[in-house]
Structure 1
Amino acid sequence: MTNPFIFDPRDPESKFPYGAVPAGTQVRFTVRPPRAGGYSRVILTARFESRDNAVVERILLWHGIEGARDVFTGTLETGEYVGLVWYTLRLEGLDGRSAELGKYQLTVYDDSETVPGWFGEGLTYQIFPDRFRRRAIPDPTGMVGGRTVHQSWEEEPVYLPDEHGEIRNRDFFGGSLAGVREKLTYLRRLGVETIYFCPIFEGVENHRYGTGDYEKIDPMLGDEAQFRLLCEEAHHLGMRIMLDGVFNHTGYISRYFNGDGSYPSEVPGAAQSTESPYYPWYHFTHWPDRYDSWWGIYSLPAVNESESTYLDYIIRGENSIVKRWLRAGADGWRLDVADELPDSFVHALHTAAREAKKDAVVIGEVWEDGSNKIAYGVRRKHILGGHCDGLMNYPFRNAAISYLLGGDARWFRETMEGLRANYPSTAYYSAMNALGTHDTPRILTLLGVGSPCTEYPKSWRADFRMSEEEYARGKARLKLGAVLLYAFPGSPTLYYGDEAGMEGFEDPFNRRTFPWGREDSELVSWFTALGCIRSWSQALRKGDISYVEADGPVLAFRRTWEEESMLVALNAGAEPASLPLSGPMKDLLTGEVFPAPGARTMEAALPPCTARLLVPLRLHLACRAKETI
């Protein structure tokens, strides 16, 4: 029995307050069964999961009649509890009949800290450092790892195994921090407010997710002085810097594990001596050749995050890694594989980050609904307060791509409203929303071709380039998806080069070099216009969201902040559609005014594969978006 007219957990008329609630909130429940059902009592059963699954029952009292319905209402005290509450509603009749609604999730969080708003409001740009911009061809001599450097920026990344059957990721292109500094004004023109770097610390692989030395910027990228200068110049332009914290594992080739002896032996690594200060950081089943590693990948030995000396080094020490790089100029951390880090570790890291910089932000990599994620048998506390301020929003990506490829807009709304109901508002508005990342196929290719094409050999995907028809289709869908991305609550996150028309399937084809001088100028202008609108529109930066329509290919929602309102309308279908309006409106993307002169109805036309950002004509704020497109 799930009739929303009886009880809808996402309707404030049924459950108030809406969504997740701070600890100490008294939550009111109202159930409205039809009088013809003959129900005389409603019992709320609530299970407080983090309180040893303690069960509380509350009788909802009859409150009166609304039309043909009885009204039962009652409250549940949350007290000092923080965690998930799972509840059901049992309707009982005098004749012994009963019906049950639920189970439903209630998220109770700790709101004792203020989450900085800067991250969620502005545009984030993700950079894979080796592939964004290089100033000169670097010389890898003396660098750890046996690296090679592509002489041409336009060459293809290596994807084939070496003579030992291993994919080593030791081919570099030489992107650098100096190269990023050279393009800071370009990023600012795009509307970027946060630059999120994939790992920049010394590491032998081009992705640098196997950290060799947390205390050193990788020498191919630059040094600490270059990093500080980059942060200073970015701050001067109104941009912040977010670093990738890879703390679940280190590199096999690192000063800590030192599996091949590449690092100086004055302080031996864990694989060199059981007396090494780093030995307790790892779990050996047979020293030195068998040990825990991330997903069984030998080159990424897993660390024991509960080891006291590791905690001191990464988090707790006065000059810990987390604090040191924030003091050097970084503004936040994105935590790699956050759900594989103990909650206690994430909490300690969050505390240290705020100590080092009071408005530092911590964002976690989680691929699912982070409010109820279970990892390694433990319900995680990611967004319950004092842990992650926000999460990477892969549910948004999945729902958006499904919609753009022909799925029903209702499913997008249902998925996003499920997150909004489960997440604390601060976490929902601090989400890192993206259509593509370094871990997914290029969004342009995915939208143009329609799938990741994993049924074909990897060599086929390596050589694949879209036809003109596929490129045009992907581009049209990407422009539509970009409007959705930039208009949605949370930080729109742009993966480097998506605005330039980069294509490719999975790693490493999604990590090709930025095509400087060969960009798709129409796409760059489109993203620049959206960045402009996002930068000044308070409604898009922090406004409420309410859905106007979600039916088949048409998706429309309104963002509202104080007196400013923006109506976002998309038609992902192949047939024209229209959207009723309550008054004259102007599309910021085209300059068109609706209704059109002479029109008989108050509506906005939505041609196939079209998006509009509509503002009331009387309140139109000049952005000159049309000229930038």
Structure 2
Amino acid sequence: MITREAIYHLPKSNYAYAYSNSELHFRIRSKKNEVDEVFLRIGDPYEWETGGLDGGNLNGTDAKGWSGATEVMMKKELTTEYFDYWFCHYTPPKKRSRYAFILKDKDEKILFGEKQIDLLRSDKDEFKLSNLSNFFSFPYLNKKDVLDAPDWAKNIIWYQIFPERFCNGNKDISPQNVKPWGEVPTHDNFMGGDLYGLYSKLDYLEELGITGIYLCPIFTGNTNHKYDTVDYYKIDPHFGDEKIFKKIVKKAHQKGIKIMLDAVFNHVGTSFEYWKDVVKNGEKSEYADWFVINKFPVYEENFKINYETFANVKEMPKLNLENKDCRKYILNIATYWIKEYDIDGWRLDVCNEIDHKFWREFREETKKVKKDIYILGEVWHDGLPWLMGDQFDAVMNYPISDAIIKFLKKDKLDGLELSYEINKAIVSYPQNITEVSFNLLDSHDTARILTVLKKDKKKLKLSIALLFFQSGSPCIYYGTEIGMDGDKRSNCEDNRKCMVWDENFQDKELYSFVKKIIQIRKENNQFQNTFIEWILNDGDILVLKKENILLLINLNEEFDININLNDFNSKKSFKNLFTNEIIFIDEKKIKIENKGFLLLKNI
């Protein structure tokens, strides 16, 4: 018997959405390993053999023979710990649809509708199968509702840079108290990294294979991280000026590299001009309502603050973007940097603490200026409320990185559980969101991945292989490719240490590995496929498949393993994508060393 309470579907969500201007996608959930087949029953609600439903009266009693209906077989898309997910696509002839689901097991067949579940006893259940008042509705496929994320975001290779620690290219503009390059980083010291240094290293990034640069804030700020904005219209003078930034964008574009800036619109620094006016003039300031202030004065003698901030950082007062003038000011900044500097994307800091209406306006205004601007939200949790086509193109995919790390650390996740976590992340969003997702292993907000993996280089390579196997775009945090480590904890900011440019201290073998996997990713569009087939996920052993590409992983700490490729192929041979070796299948087993992997292409 089919467990009714396990079945779930929600229209206009990640379960039913417009994938393109002509195609709809549908999902339904059922209890794991219980349902044998699922069909989508769908059609134009106004197409009948006889009857008076042309006006849309779903309760018409004279309607007979729903000629607009068809049945589409759904495939089992993926499985999680408790559920199976079924998927299909459908092109509505007239863009409008009513639909329900037919689920079958060995004992029964049911119709899952919007209002009730009907047991189907025979092929003569015409009333139940045509009772559109019980069917879900996708009223019309409106072009405006389709996510218009840029195509280029599907296969870009991002590289995140913390500007103050990447490269010092002009010592004349370094802060007076600058420390020697490579000194232990702290929350408040400066090393002199700047935009001139970035400009000088564009050739390095191109050679590595990078096609997108994500820059932490470059606007004027008092700190080394610049998340305490002082002036949104000016580049921090210790980084450079507008002229050098324009040169960076121009040269990057010539090399096929996109530029994404970090937008800190949730809060500002206490040196921000309008905040200083509020501190001085209190509630009489014309900017008093630009901030979330509980009472005046904003500062009291006992060091108590009377305003909202980012986290508990008193140096970062929160903007009130519900104020019309403040809202307009920030929207103008967003479009200014696109118009003036031709940037390609905005990464939105602390975006989940700002109202959804603002982000809808933000998308509208920025897409007017540059249709293929990429809008990325910093959301560490489920980001679906921001990802239905009217706000962001993607969010930072921390659930994927968390799952990969827990698996490689053998912390709560084995191979089967890893598959569940990655599958949950995939099914959480519409497919066109997953195709442009921003996937990462570490960032300026986390410990570096090599440190997390206890400096185990083999596991680092496994983490990169798993990351690059996901659809969407992988991001490399600066220095990962040369073996940089660094912890992130209270009073420790080693994750933001200076980039190592002395080749004597760079891991050249790791650099070659990263460069090669980037090349492989670019040359094989199969990685863009959102569907992963988990052929084997038994403890430490994984075999993942995308179309004709296999990723085989042996996480065992001590023992090599041998796998019979006959179990996984449909053709006679494989190509090792790293070595280009051709492996012929003749009952031959292939060796995978401990904490190793193979990336093979069936040819």
Is the CA contact 1:281–1:304 (under 8 Å) kept in the aligned structure 2? yes
- Find the aligned partners of 1:218 and 1:323 in 2 and give their Cα distance: 19
Provide the residue aligned with 1:431 in structure 2: 437
Provide the residue aligned with 1:189 in structure 2: 207
TM-score (ref. length: structure 2) = 0.77
Q: Cα–Cα, structure 1 residues 113 and 428, in superposed 2: closer, same or farther, change >3 Å?
A: closer
Provide the residue aligned with 1:511 in structure 2: 496
Q: Aligned runs of 1:19-418 on 2, under 5 Å?
A: 26-35=98-107, 42=110, 44=112, 46=114, 56-59=115-118, 61-62=120-121, 76-80=135-139, 111-139=145-173, 148-150=177-179, 152-158=180-186, 169-258=187-276, 268-269=277-278, 271-287=280-296, 288-289=298-299, 290-315=306-331, 320-327=332-339, 328-371=341-384, 381-406=385-410, 407-418=413-424
The worse-fitting range, judged by mean Cα deviation, of 522-531 and 580-589 is: 580-589
- Find the aligned partners of 1:612 and 1:359 in 2 and give their Cα distance: 36
Letter in 1 for 2:337: W
Contiguous gaps of at least 5 residues in structure 2:
4-30, 40-73, 77-83, 300-305
Letter in 2 for 1:418: K
Q: Aligned runs of 1:534-549 on 2, under 5 Å?
A: 534-542=521-529, 544-549=531-536
Is the CA contact 1:20–1:423 (under 8 Å) kept in the aligned structure 2? no
1:524 aligns with 2:508: no
- Find the aligned partners of 1:573 and 1:392 in 2 and give their Cα distance: 30
Q: Cα–Cα, structure 1 residues 587 and 76, in superposed 2: closer, same or farther, change >3 Å?
A: farther
Provide the residue aligned with 2:75 in structure 1: 12
1:484 aligns with 2:466: yes
Is the CA contact 1:197–1:244 (under 8 Å) kept in the aligned structure 2? yes
- Find the aligned partners of 2:91 and 2:554 in 1 and give their Cα distance: 34
- Find the aligned partners of 1:595 and 1:21 in 2 and give their Cα distance: 41
- Find the aligned partners of 1:271 and 1:366 in 2 and give their Cα distance: 35
- Find the aligned partners of 1:347 and 1:113 in 2 and give their Cα distance: 12
- Find the aligned partners of 1:63 and 1:361 in 2 and give their Cα distance: 51
- Find the aligned partners of 1:227 and 1:334 in 2 and give their Cα distance: 17
Per the TM alignment, residue 278 of structure 1 is displaced from its structure 2 partner at its CA by 2.6
- Find the aligned partners of 2:415 and 2:85 in 1 and give their Cα distance: 25
- Find the aligned partners of 1:301 and 1:24 in 2 and give their Cα distance: 47
- Find the aligned partners of 2:383 and 2:90 in 1 and give their Cα distance: 13
Counterpart of 1:440 (choices 422, 440, 446) is: 446
Q: Cα–Cα, structure 1 residues 117 and 76, in superposed 2: closer, same or farther, change >3 Å?
A: farther
Aligned length: 505
Provide the residue aligned with 1:88 in structure 2: none
**Secondary structure of residue in 2 paired with 1:295:** coil
Per the TM alignment, residue 572 of structure 1 is displaced from its structure 2 partner at its CA by 1.8
Per the TM alignment, residue 545 of structure 1 is displaced from its structure 2 partner at its CA by 3.2
Is the CA contact 1:535–1:541 (under 8 Å) kept in the aligned structure 2? no
- Find the aligned partners of 2:326 and 2:89 in 1 and give their Cα distance: 38
Is the CA contact 1:119–1:194 (under 8 Å) kept in the aligned structure 2? no
- Find the aligned partners of 1:500 and 1:9 in 2 and give their Cα distance: 49
Deviations 1:460-495 (A, max 9, x none): xxxxxxxxxxx4xx1110111111112211110100
RMSD between aligned residues: 3.0
Deviations 1:181-224 (A, max 9, x none): 11111111211111001111111111111111111111111111
Q: Cα–Cα, structure 1 residues 294 and 62, in superposed 2: closer, same or farther, change >3 Å?
A: farther
TM-score (ref. length: structure 1) = 0.74
- Find the aligned partners of 2:167 and 2:319 in 1 and give their Cα distance: 32
Is the CA contact 1:15–1:30 (under 8 Å) kept in the aligned structure 2? no
Q: Cα–Cα, structure 1 residues 302 and 546, in superposed 2: closer, same or farther, change >3 Å?
A: same
Q: Cα–Cα, structure 1 residues 393 and 45, in superposed 2: closer, same or farther, change >3 Å?
A: same
Q: Cα–Cα, structure 1 residues 45 and 135, in superposed 2: closer, same or farther, change >3 Å?
A: same
Letter in 1 for 2:255: L
1:551 aligns with 2:538: yes
Provide the residue aligned with 1:590 in structure 2: 579
Q: Cα–Cα, structure 1 residues 178 and 556, in superposed 2: closer, same or farther, change >3 Å?
A: same
Q: Cα–Cα, structure 1 residues 62 and 132, in superposed 2: closer, same or farther, change >3 Å?
A: farther
Q: Cα–Cα, structure 1 residues 323 and 42, in superposed 2: closer, same or farther, change >3 Å?
A: same
Provide the residue aligned with 1:567 in structure 2: 550
Is the CA contact 1:282–1:301 (under 8 Å) kept in the aligned structure 2? yes
Contiguous gaps of at least 5 residues in structure 1:
47-55, 66-71, 83-107, 142-146, 159-168, 259-267, 372-380, 449-470, 618-629
Q: Cα–Cα, structure 1 residues 31 and 9, in superposed 2: closer, same or farther, change >3 Å?
A: closer
Is the CA contact 1:200–1:221 (under 8 Å) kept in the aligned structure 2? yes
- Find the aligned partners of 2:102 and 2:517 in 1 and give their Cα distance: 42
**Secondary structure of residue in 1 paired with 2:138:** coil
**Could you tell me the percent identity over the aligned residues?**
30
- Find the aligned partners of 1:388 and 1:223 in 2 and give their Cα distance: 29
**Secondary structure of residue in 2 paired with 1:257:** helix
Provide the residue aligned with 2:592 in structure 1: 606
Deviations 1:409-448 (A, max 9, x none): 1112111212222211111111111111111111001112
Counterpart of 2:457 (choices 461, 475, 488) is: 475
The worse-fitting range, judged by mean Cα deviation, of 1-10 and 536-545 is: 1-10
